[in-house]
Structure 1
C-alpha cells in the first residue's frame, strides 16, 4: 500500500519544474542573462523612439507669438538700467531688487520681497532625508548674509487663482554677469506681454532669485516658504543691521510692494531661464535643456517636448542635452556602431520593413547622451535650480541659451527667447490638469529621442535575474552534503525523508555574518559626520582616515560578534563559503531591487559592478589547489573584479577614463562623496550600505580558508 502511494505521488507544478530546471542550470543561465543584459544596455540608443506630445491640450505652436519689438525694447531698457547700477557706491545689494520691483509695479504686477538665510551643507545624519535645505542655517549671520528674492505676480484674468506658472531668473546680486542680466531682460519682456493679455487662465509668478548663496538655495528657500504656513521672514535685530534694509523693505505706495509673503495658485510648471556666454562653437543660438532633479527624478516628458518643438520649429534654435564628450572618440563605441549599422543594412536588404540599426554617428552621439543621462540620474544631484521644484512634485526644467550675436543685437535675442518662453507658457496655460499623460521615467539619447522605462528596465532585469537562481543553487548544493564530509562524525545518520539538522540551521550563521557586515556599513555611513569636524583637513586626509577607521571598525565588529564562526564542527567545512555566498547574493539582489525603486539609474550602474563580482567569486584556494589554466584564469578574474568593485577604485578609474588620468587625485572620491551627502543623494546610502558590505563579503569569500 505504501509503495503504491509512492508510485502515484503527484508531479510538481510546471512553474516549480521550471524553477528547478533553472536552478540546476544556474551557471548557463547566469552567463546568458548577464551577456544579454549588457547587450541590451548597449542597444538602448538603437531602441530609442522619437519624442511626441501625449497631451493634446498643450497644442504648442497653435497660436502666433504676441511678443512684439516694443516688449523686447522695454526689456533692453530694463537690462541697461540693471547693468548701469553701481552697487559699490552704496555698499549694499538692495538696489537690484528695488529696480526689479519698480518695473514689475509699473507693469501692474504684485510685488513682494522674500528674505532667506544661507543653509549649511555639512553632512548631518539626522537631516539626511530632509532635503539639501533642511533648515540648518549659519549661526553667525549678519545683514549681508541674507539673500533677497524679488517676486512678481500677475493674476490671471480668466483664472480662479488656483494654478500658477513660474518663471525663475537667477542672478548674483554681488557680481552680476551679462548672461544673468540678459535672463532678467527676457523675463521682463515676457512679463510685460503677459500683464496685458486676456487669455491667461493661470497666474504668472516671476521669481528673480538672488543667487549669491547659490541658485538652488535661493529657489529652494522660496519654495519651502511658499509650501508651508511659516512665512520664513526672520526678523532682523536693529542693533545688528541698522535701518538700511528695513527701510528698503517696508511697504511702499500702499500695498503694491510688500514685505509680506505673497502667494498664487498651485504650481503647474516652472521654467528656469539662464543665458550663458556667447557661443562660438555652433552656427546659431543653442538651447541646452537640463532636467535631472534629486535622486533621478525627471519632469514629465511633455514639458521637454514642447520646449524642443517650439525651439526647433518656432525659433530655429539648436537644442542640445548634456552628453559625455569623451565618449564621442571611443573606439569601442565607433566599432559597435559600425557593426550595428552593418547589421541594419543586411536586415533592410532582406526585408525593407525591418528598420533596425542607425548610422554610426547617431549611435555614438546617442550613447554619449544616454551615458550622461544615466550618470546624472544615478548621481542624484540636481543639474540646476529646477530640481527644487521636483521636490514638491512640480514639473520644471532649466533652459540655458548660448547666444551667438553681437552686443547690438540684444533686442533680437530678447525677442527670440521671449517668444520661446511665451509659447511654452501658452501651452502650459492650456492644460486643464497637471502633466500626467507622458513619461516620468525615461532616459534621453537626444533632445528628440528617448528610451522609456519599459525598455531600459529589461537590461536591469536580465542582469539581476541570475542572483536568486545562484543563491538557491548554492544553498541546494550545500544541503546535499548531509552525509558527506561536512557532517560532524558524532551526528546520527539521517534518513532520506528528514531535513538535515546540520544544514537547516547552519545557514543562519551565514545570515548572521551578512547582517553584521551590513550593520558595520551603517557605521561607515556615519563616519564622515565625525571626520567633517576636523578643521582644515584635506580631501586626501579625510578619505585616508575614512578607509582606516572603516577597516578598524570592521575588525572590531568581527571580534565582538564572531560573525564567521560556524558552531558544531571542529574542522574547516568546505560548504561554509557556499552558504555565505548564497546569503550574500540574496542580500545583493534585495539591495539592488530596493534601490531600483528609489533611483533606477543607480541600481543599473550598481548591477554592472556588483552582479559579476557576486556571481563569479569563489575561494582563491580552490583555484590554486586545482592548478589548471581555467581555474587560474577564474582566480585572476575574481581578483580583478574585487579590485574594480571597490568604490573609490571604480570611481577614480572611471573618472580617469573619461577625463584623463592626469587630472585625478586620491581625494577626488571624498569630494564626490561629499557632494552626494550634501545633496542627500540616495546613491550615497546605496554605496555605503549595499555595495560596500557585499564587496566585503565577496572579499571574505575570496580569502576563505577552505
Structure 2
C-alpha cells in the first residue's frame, strides 16, 4: 500500500508555476479601479509639476561657442543699414503699383556689396483641404486661375560665397517685406539684415555661404518663404504649370538695373542656389513700442508640433541677454497669469519645497509661486501651439525640410527716431552676427541637444523624458480596465448560463458558452469599427462642403453637422449597430463595447503621441476620464448611492466637455471671453487646421469624435 501511494504521488504532475509578471497582471486587472484612480491622479499631478521639474537650458554643442568672439559690427555698417532704410521709406520707392522700385533698390544694394543677386518670381497658391495631402507640404494648393501681372510675388535673394567654405553648406537670413504696404518696422528689419550682410562680405572667418532672402509678404510671409524653398529643394524643369512672366513688362523691367547689365555682373535671371541649409533665422521688427525695455520674442513652433533643435534657441537667448541686454520673450497664455487657483497651487508647491528643504537641505525642489504661475502659462502656450500643428511664423516652412529655424521679433522700447533707430540697428545686428558666427562654427547639423521639449521660460525647458511620464500615467489604466471589463462581462454571462446545481447542465452548456463568449466581442468590435468609419467620413465631408460657392462659416458648419448625423444614421441602419439590436439576455453588452472602445482609444493616443505629443496629451486629458467613467446612466439611477450619483454628474459634465465643438468654445471663452463665441468660429478653426495639414484635424475626426459617440451610446444604453 505504501509503495502504491508513493507511486501515485510520483505520477501526479506538478502544478505549473505562474510567472511573477502574470501574477502582477492579474493583480492589476483585478484592482483596475484603484489603479485607474491612482494613475490618473498621478498623471494630472505630474503635468502640474512640470514647471517645477523644468531644467535650466544649456549649450550642448561645444563648437557653437556663443559670445566667444567680440562683435565686429561697427557704426559704419549701421550707417549703411540706415541708408537702405531711408531709401525704402522714401515715397518715390513706392510709386509703382507693384512695388518693383523697392525690389530694385534692395537688389542694387546687394550688388554693391559684391553679392550674387537674383529674383524669384512666384504665384500665390490657394490652401485647399485635400485628404491625401496630410503630413506633406502644407502649401500644396493650386495656383489661382485668374492671375495678372500684379499678382506676382517677387523674392529678392542675395548670396555671399564663403571664402573658407566649399559651397556645401549655407545659413539663411529671412526678412519679410511687403513693398506695397510696408511699415517702418519692416524697413528697419531690412536695415539690420543689410548691416550684417555688409559685414559678412568683408570677414575672412566665414565657412558657410550666407543667403539673404527678402520675402515678398504681400500674400503672406509663410507663402513667400515656402515658394522659394520649394524651388530651392525641388527645382522644376518645366514652366508649363506656371503663368508666362514674359507677358508682364513690369516683371521684365526687374532685370534693367542701373549700372548693371545682366551679362556683366553678378545679377542673374536664373535661380541661384548655395549649399545645404544648416539653419535659418527670420528677422522682424515691430512698429509698436514696448513700455519697459527692448525685447525680442522667439517663435519656434512649426507644423505638427515640430520644434527646432534647442541649441539654436539657447544661442539666441544667451547672446540676447548676456551680450546685447535684450529681454527674451516666449509666448504665454495670458489669462493663466491672473488665475487665482493657479497661484494657490504654486503657493502649495512652494510650501512643500520649504518643508522638503528643511528635512534635507541638499534637495533643491520647488520654485516661487510667481515663477510657477509664469512657467505654467508658458508651458500651456507651448503645449497649445504645438498641439494646433500650425506654424507660428515663416520659420515653419524650413522645418518641413528638416532645417532648424526660428523667428525673431524685436520690439523696441521707445519710438524709432534717429538715436534709438541706430541703437536697434547696432544691437539687433550684433545679435544676428553672433548667431551666424556660432552656426558657422558647426561642422555638422544640429543634433546634440533636444528636438522634443516644452518651454517654461526662455531659459528653462522640460525634456521628453520628463513630460512623457504624465502622458504614460494617464493612459496606463486603459489596457487594464479594458481587460477587466472583458473578463467581467464574460464571467457574468457564464454565471447566467445553465443551472449550477446540475453538473450535466454545466457540461452541456460549457462548450457552447465558451464558443459564444469567445466571439461575443466581435459584435462590439463591429460597433467600434462602424463609428470609426463614420469618423473618417466626417473628416472627409469638409472637402466637399468647401466646394459650395458663397457659403458662410456658420452655414458650412450647419451643413457639416446635418450631413454627419445623416451619415451616422445611414451606417447604423445598413450595418446594424450592436447596441441598437442588443438582446435583453446579453447582459453587460455595454461592458464589451466599453472594453473595445478603450482599446481603440489607447491605440489612437499611442499613435498620436508619435506624430504630435502635445495633441495626444490634451486628448488624453479629455478622453481618458470620459472612457473610464462611462457607464449606463440607468444603472447609476437604480443604485441611488452617493458614489453612483457623483459618477452620473461626472459623466454628464465630461460628455459635454469632451465634445470637440464644446471643447473649442470652452477654450475660446477662457482665452477671449464667452461673449465673442460664434458657431462659425469652429468651422474657421477647423478650416485653418486642414489648410495647414495639421494631424490634429485627423485626430479630432477619427479618434476623439468616435470616442465621444461611443461613450455617449454607452451612457444611454438600455440595460
TM-score (norm 1): 0.96
How far residue 529 of structure 1 moved from its aligned partner, in angstroms, is: 1.1
Cα distance, 1:504 vs structure 2? 0.4
Q: In the alignment, what sits opposite 1:662? A: 675
Per the TM alignment, residue 346 of structure 1 is displaced from its structure 2 partner at its CA by 1.3
Instruction: Give CA-to-partner distance per residue, 1:441-477, whole Å, 9 cap, x none.
Output: 0000000000000000000000000000000000111
Decide whether the 8 Å contact of 1:483 with 1:493 is kept in 2: no
Select 2:612's aligned residue among 596, 599, 603.
599
Partner of 2:326: 317
Change (3 A) 1:32 1:73: same
Distance of aligned partners of 1:6 and 1:615 in 2 relative to their CA distance in 1, 3 Å threshold: farther
User: 1:530 corresponds to which residue?
Assistant: 544
Distance 1:204 1:642, change over 3 A: same
For 1:375 and 1:130, the matched residues in 2 are separated by 22
Residue 672 of structure 1 corresponds to 685
By how many angstroms is 1:351 displaced? Answer: 1.9
Aligned length in residues: 703
Distance 2:12 2:357 in 1: 58
Structure 1: distance between partners of 2:498 and 2:204: 86
Tell me, what secondary structure is at the counterpart of 1:86?
helix
RMSD: 2.1
Q: What are the superposed Cα offsets for residues 531-573 of structure 1, whole Å, 9 maximum, x if unpaired?
A: 1122222222222221121111111110010131698x85342
Cα displacement string for residues 34-53 of structure 1 (whole angstroms, at most 9, x for unaligned residues): 00000000000000000000
Find the counterpart in structure 1 of residue 273 from structure 2. 263
Quote how far apart the aligned CAs of 1:245 are: 1.4
Matched, 1:277 2:283: no
| Separation in structure 2 between the aligned mates of residue 479 and residue 522 of structure 1, nearest angstrom | 31
Paired residue for 2:77, among 71, 75, 84?
Answer: 71
Query: Given the alignment of the two structures, is residue 298 of structure 1 paired with residue 307 of structure 2, yes or no?
Result: yes
For the pair 1:507 / 2:521, whether they are aligned, the reply is yes
TM-superposed deviation, 1:253: 5.1
List aligned pairs for 1:607-626, cutoff 5 A.
607-626=620-639
Q: Compared with structure 1, are the counterparts of its residues 201 and 578 closer, same or farther at alpha carbon in structure 2 (3 Å cutoff)?
A: same
Superposed counterparts of 1:246-261, under 5 Å: 246-249=252-255, 252=262, 254-261=264-271
Matches within 5 A, 1:114-513: 114-230=120-236, 236-237=243-244, 241-249=247-255, 252=262, 254-282=264-292, 284-406=293-415, 407-409=417-419, 410-485=421-496, 493=507, 500-513=514-527
Picking from 564, 571, 574, the partner of 1:550 is 564
Answer whether contact 1:479 1:500 (CA < 8 A) is retained: no
Does the 8 Å contact 2:78/2:426 carry over to 1?
yes
Partner deviation per Cα, 1:464-511 (whole Å, 9 max, x = no partner): 000000000001111213433378999985677998111100101111
Q: In 2, are the aligned partners of 1:286 and 1:320 still within 8 Å (CA)?
A: yes
Question: Where does the alignment leave 5 or more consecutive residues of structure 1 unmatched?
Answer: none
Distance 1:237 1:10, change over 3 A: closer
Aligned to 1:483, what secondary structure does the other structure show? helix
Report the Cα offset of residue 305 of structure 1. Answer: 0.2
Equivalent residues of 2:114, 2:266 under 8 A apart: no
TM-score (norm 2): 0.94
Change (3 A) 1:485 1:100: same
**Is contact 2:289–2:411 with CA below 8 Å preserved after alignment?**
yes
Secondary structure, aligned partner of 2:171:
strand
1:353 to 1:119, Cα distance in 2 relative to 1, 3 A? same
